[in-house]
Amino acid sequence: MRIPGWMAAAALATLAAVTASGTTFVVPEDEEMVDKATAIVIGTVEGSYVQERDYIETVYELRVERALKGAVRPDELLRIVSIGGALDHRGTIAPGSAHFVNGERVLLFLTFESQRWQVTDLILGKFRFSQTPLGEHVLLRDEVEISGWDRDGTVHRERVRREDGFLRFIEQRVRGRGAMPAYFLAPEPALPQKEKDPFSAVIANAPFRAYTYTDNVQDNDSPAYLPSRWSNIAAGVQFYKTSSQNISGAADGGVSVIQNGLAAWNNECGSVINLIYAGQRATGSTGFDDISVVEFNDPQNRIAGSWGGAGTVATTFISYNDQHNFDSMVWWSIGDADVVFQNGYTAANASFATAMTHEIGHGIGWRHSNAHYIRNADFTDAPCNAGVEECSSSAIMNSSAISSLGFTLQTWDINASQATYPGGSCGGGCTPPAITAQPTSRTITAGQSTTLTVTATGTSLSYQWYQGTAPNTGSPAGTGPSLTVAPSATTSYWVRVSNACGTVNSTTATVTVTAPPPATATRFFTVTPCRLVDTRNGGPVPGEVSFTVTGRCGIPSTAKALSLNITAVSPPASGFMTVYPAGTARPGTSTLSYHANKTRANNAIILLTSNGQLTVFNFNGVGATHVILDVNGYFQ
Ligand SMILES: [Zn+2]
């Protein structure tokens, strides 16, 4: 059985800000996870189904094998709800929520809230059983998703836990016995914290197409993954604050941070992003009501558990129910994006501003800057692939928020904005380039030329064409908005459009080259009957032989077709002959059928190729046959 095709997973699945250096997030200690979970179980996912409550959500059926904590019996079937899924061409993306593939055996930290089982702290509460190359049994959490910072300010690297030691630690902790986390496979090298890119005049240079910057979501009855964006963000997308929920520690309840988070994306001058703070209203987070809200304190328990100084900060629930065309592709139309902050999380956390900007970024379509645009089968982040997409670990959209960035977009964030919502102007008289019509693929005949054209908007554009596939710049092919080419074989081309404030690559257009077709004739001219071919003067036709027939018997080189009499002379066995223009596919019908040892003739009108050749194909299964071609007229 297949998991519903769509995805989820990935938001600020994480963490708190605490260290004195102002850096950023802390991955919770294992004992905190043990203490906050309602139940901890080992089990196997036996099935799943998609349902709609407030959002579309997926229910996973987990057969419990062993319970380490909580009132859960072995062999019990637990239904675990994770927001996210697709139904009838509508769907919800729930970045950060834990999802599963059927048959997956997992260790789960679970929280029971609102009469529902959910994974504690979304993706943080899920561990997979695995084995090292040396055969050691271990438990793994998704590594890309929860990269963050440890309490001492070093970069967190997900540690590998020995299965037996970790399970024993959990049981001892649950029984209230002092237990040391002595089950890590190897000491983790602490990496120095990465320097942030200074934010100076960033020249946008989106080297990849728009869809690679967004979360690509599979429809529930289609194998295709579609990227996601607002279909007309320039017209304004409104965000409200749920009026009953104020974040603790902010005099205005969080309003100004919402406004600044929206402004961070609006202020990206090379795009047309237009997010509007529309004030407070009673509406809470819910999918498909076409009302996007920021909701503090997770009053509806969208995120299992609560903030305890570490864990999940916020998640965005993105709903789509329509499609539109952009950049020569079909896209999901986002219709509703709700940002929900975990209960217990306060404005005093240093990550608040970055988290807000990051979650709103998910709400307008972005993937994580350090993850692939299509997720793993269980919807966790897959590693970013610099060969096909832009990758950065220093961006607002990095999977673990970098507190020091606040409301300041980085290069990846700017490129994503300009590629996906192009058309803005950056002052100084410079508008970044945007392609409005891509060069199109076409088919030509060998010897012909064709002109490829790109249409783009922007200030003082320059155009550089390349032979090959974008973004390969190995073979420059010309400049200007159009390129005339006459390849002798099928060849691909693309163009890079740039100016002082940006660069954009076109799609790749393929010029397919075919053999010249036979020409068409218009008038008929008779000639005195004349013998064009008589193989009795040479060798009989074994299988297939071509003859040049123009320039003889009064047939001009401009002849397009001949009126012929074809004769098979004393063939060795019964068979047939087919006469057709040289170099074209042999027709399935014969021109002349014959019997063994009987000379037979037939009339035919046969097209010629531009070089005046025709081909005789002979078949009788035994041997070569002499052929005579007599001409009595031609077309031209
Ligand atoms: Zn995120």
pLDDT, tens digit, 9 for 90 and up, residues 312-342: 888 899 998 888 999 888 899 999 999 999 9
**Confidence grade of residue 395 (pLDDT, cut at 50, 70, 90):** very high
Give the 3-state secondary structure of residue 631. strand
Helices and strands (H, E) in the chain, number of each type = 5, 38
Q: How confident is the model at residue 189 (pLDDT cuts 50, 70, 90)?
A: very low
The answer to whether the peptide bond before residue 471 is cis (omega within 30 degrees of 0) is yes
If you measure from the C-alpha of residue 604 to the centroid of ligand 1, how many angstroms do you get, rounded to a whole number?
Answer: 73
Q: For the residues 466-481, what does the mean pLDDT come to?
A: 87
Q: For residue 250, what are its two tokens?
A: 């902010």
CB 15 within 8 A of CB 149: yes
What pLDDT is recorded for position 110? 96
Instruction: Give me ligand 1 centre to Cα 13, in Å.
Output: 7
Cβ-contact 8, 84 below 8 angstroms: yes
The Cα 409–Cα 412 span in angstroms is 8
Q: How far apart are the first and last CA of the chain?
A: 64
**Rounded distance from Cα 87 to ligand 1 centre (Å):** 23
Pick the CATH number of 210-420 from 3.40.390.10, 3.40.50.11030, 3.30.420.40, 3.40.50.300: 3.40.390.10
Cα-to-chain-centroid distance, residue 330: 12
SS3 per-residue string spanning 412-470: HHHHHHHHHCECCCCCCCCCCCEEEECCCCEEEECCCCEEEECEEECCCCEEEEEECCC
The Å distance, Cα 181 to ligand 1 centre, comes to: 29
Distance 192 CA to ligand 1 centre (A): 23
Fold annotation for 434-514: Immunoglobulin-like (2.60.40)
Average pLDDT over residues 238-254: 96
The distance from CA 79 to its chain's CA centroid, rounded to whole angstroms, is 31
Q: Mind listing the pLDDT tens digit for each residue in 69-121?
A: 999 999 999 999 998 888 877 888 877 778 888 899 999 999 998 889 999 88
Report the separation in Å between the CA atom of 16 and the middle of ligand 1, taken as the mean of its atom positions.
14
The residue type found at 128 is R
Q: How far is the CA of 367 from the centre of ligand 1 (A)?
A: 7
Q: Confirm if 402 and 24 have CB atoms less than 8 A apart.
A: yes
Phi/psi of residue 516, each to 5°?
-65, 135
30-174 matches 434-514 in fold? no
How far, in Å, from the CA of 368 to the mean position of ligand 1?
Answer: 6
Task: Specify whether domain 524-635 bears CATH 2.60.120.
Answer: yes
For residue 189, the number of C-alpha atoms closer than 13 Å in the C-beta half-sphere is 2
What is the whole-number distance in angstroms between the Cα of residue 355 and the centre of ligand 1?
8
Distance 105 CA to ligand 1 centre (A): 26
The rounded Å distance from CA 505 to ligand 1 centre is: 27
Angle between helices 255-266 and 352-363 in degrees, nearest 10: 50
What does pTM read for this prediction? Answer: 0.63
User: Cα(325) to centroid of ligand 1, in Å?
Assistant: 26
CB-based contact 83:302 (threshold 8 Å): yes
Instruction: Say how many Å lie between the CA of residue 153 and the centre of ligand 1.
Output: 20
Segments in 219-309 forming alpha helices (H): 255-266
Q: Which two tokens stand for residue 294?
A: 């920021």
**Which tokens go with 465?**
């064409």
Distance 123 CA to ligand 1 centre (A): 12
Q: Which residue has the higher pLDDT, 537 or 520?
A: 537
Q: Is the pLDDT of residue 61 over 70?
A: yes
Beta bridge partners of 617: 544, 578
Residues ≥6 apart with Cβ < 8 Å to 535: 541, 626, 627, 628
CA triplet 346, 303, 53: central angle to 5 degrees? 135
Residue 518 identity: P
Please compute the mean of the pLDDT values over residues 9-24 and round it to a whole number: 26
Cα-Cα-Cα-Cα dihedral sign, residues 379, 380, 385, 390: positive
Structure tokens at 180: 């040391």
Rg of the chain, C-alpha, whole Å: 35
CA of 267 to the centre of ligand 1 (A): 21
| Distance from residue 53's CA to the centre of ligand 1 (Å) | 23
Average pLDDT, the chain: 83
pLDDT at 460 over 50: yes
Beta bridge partners of residue 26, listed in sequence order: 16
Give the model's pLDDT for residue 46.
95
83 CA to middle of ligand 1, Å? 15
> How many angstroms separate the alpha carbon of residue 245 from the centre of ligand 1?
22
Count CA atoms closer than 13 A to 274's CA, side-chain side.
10
CA atoms within 13 A on the CB side of 414: 24
Which of these, 619, 627, 601, 488, lies nearest to 549 by C-alpha position? 627
Q: Which helix (H) or strand (E) holds 30?
A: helix 30-36
Query: CA-to-CA distance for 569 and 595, rounded, in angstroms?
Result: 10
Percent composition of the chain: helix, strand, coil (DSSP 3-state, to 5): 10, 40, 50
Could you write out the three-class secondary structure of 68-119? EECCCCCCCEEEEEEECEEECCEEEECCCCCCCCCCCEEEEEEEEECCEEEE
C-alpha of residue 533 to centroid of ligand 1, in Å: 78
Q: Is the pLDDT of residue 503 over 70?
A: yes
Closest-CA residue to 63 (of 82, 83, 48): 48
**Strand-pair category, 105-113 with 126-131:** antiparallel
Q: Say if residues 254 and 264 touch (Cβ distance below 8 Å).
A: no
Token digits of residue 490: 């099928």
Centroid of ligand 1 to alpha carbon of 362 (angstroms): 7
Check residue 80 and give its pLDDT.
95
**Quick one: fold of 30-174?**
OB fold (Dihydrolipoamide Acetyltransferase, E2P) (2.40.50)
Instruction: Show me where the domains of the chain are located.
Output: 30-174, 210-420, 434-514, 524-635
Which residues fall within 8 angstroms of residue 337, CB to CB, at 6 or more apart?
239, 292, 316, 317, 318, 319, 360, 362, 363, 364
Alpha-carbon span 310 to 437, nearest angstrom: 48
| Beta bridge partner(s), residue 509 | 493
pLDDT of residue 94: 78
Cα of 96 to ligand 1 centre, how many Å?
7
Q: Is the dihedral of CA 84, 85, 90, 95 positive or negative?
A: positive
Residue 93 C-alpha to ligand 1 middle, in angstroms? Answer: 12
Task: For residue 351, give the H/E element and its range.
Answer: none
Mean pLDDT of 43-61: 92
CA of 398 to the centre of ligand 1 (A): 7
Tell me which H or E stretch contains 398.
Answer: none
Q: What pLDDT is attached to residue 518?
A: 63
